[in-house]
């Protein structure tokens, strides 16, 4: 891989790593950015996804921009926000948070917004917000109880992972499936290609 082909993923999410690998892209380095993800007062879910993805990309860029080894890397960051209307559902860490979120999502539609931000080796910043509409079936109390026992909800926006058990809750999805997992592949690869990154490099290796 050429020097300018190095990609830093400003995230520690195994789901985003797996999605990139699915598309034949292997990040050269993972740089999770520990930022305050608390929404600002009256902040729209779309605006939150945009702000956090840009903040993560800029923070990673600031750390490596003068580094001889990593300074000319592509930096990719993303942030996924789940919302019912304007109500943002945070990443669930406690069982009660997850239970409340699942009761709210039961039998209704919600939106998943992912902000994707790319900083190219020349310092140019590009950003895209992708949204997907997801409708859950009506969940019984037993559905929720068993899902909580699975532990899959922990650390997930909206308290669920669509690629796991919760995929069986989804009645309808309008938009990008990979967006709901955590990284919209079509839009991400379009951005990388637009800045000169050869997304096909890894397709023929191995």
Alpha carbons 133 and 94: distance in angstroms, whole number? 25
Helix, strand or coil for residue 202? Answer: helix
Number of alpha carbons in the 13 Å side-chain half-sphere of residue 112: 29
Alpha carbons 136 and 115: distance in angstroms, whole number? 23
Rg (CA), the chain: 18
Among the listed residues 190, 166, 191, 194, the one whose alpha carbon sits nearest the alpha carbon of residue 180: 166
Distances (CA, A) of 62 to 30, 99, 155: 15, 38, 27
Residues 183/20, Cβ–Cβ less than 8 Å: yes
Helix, strand or coil for residue 109? Answer: strand
Active-site residues, by number, are 79
Alpha carbons 182 and 23: distance in angstroms, whole number? 14
User: Which residues have CB under 8 Å from 66's CB, separation 6+?
Assistant: none
């Amino acid at each position: 891989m050429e020097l300018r082909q190095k990609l830093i993923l400003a995230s520690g999410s195994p789901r985003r790593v797996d999605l990139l690998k699915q598309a034949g892209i292997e990040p050269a380095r993972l740089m999770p950015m520990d930022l305050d993800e608390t929404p600002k007062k009256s902040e729209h879910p779309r605006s939150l996804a945009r702000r956090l993805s840009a903040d993560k990309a800029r923070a990673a860029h600031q750390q490596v921009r003068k580094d001889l080894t990593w300074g000319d890397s592509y930096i990719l960051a993303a942030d996924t926000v789940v919302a019912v209307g304007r109500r943002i559902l945070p990443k669930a860490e406690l069982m009660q948070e997850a239970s409340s979120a699942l009761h709210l999502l039961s039998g209704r539609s919600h939106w998943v917004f992912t902000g994707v931000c790319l900083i190219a080796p020349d310092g140019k910043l590009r950003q895209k917000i992708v949204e997907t509409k997801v409708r859950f079936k009506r969940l019984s109390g037993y559905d929720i109880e068993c899902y909580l026992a699975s532990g899959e909800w922990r650390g997930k926006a909206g308290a669920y992972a669509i690629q796991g058990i919760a995929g069986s809750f989804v009645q309808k999805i309008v938009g990008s499936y990979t967006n709901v997992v955590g990284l919209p592949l079509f839009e991400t690869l379009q951005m990388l290609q637009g800045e000169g990154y050869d997304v096909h490099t890894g397709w023929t290796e191995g």
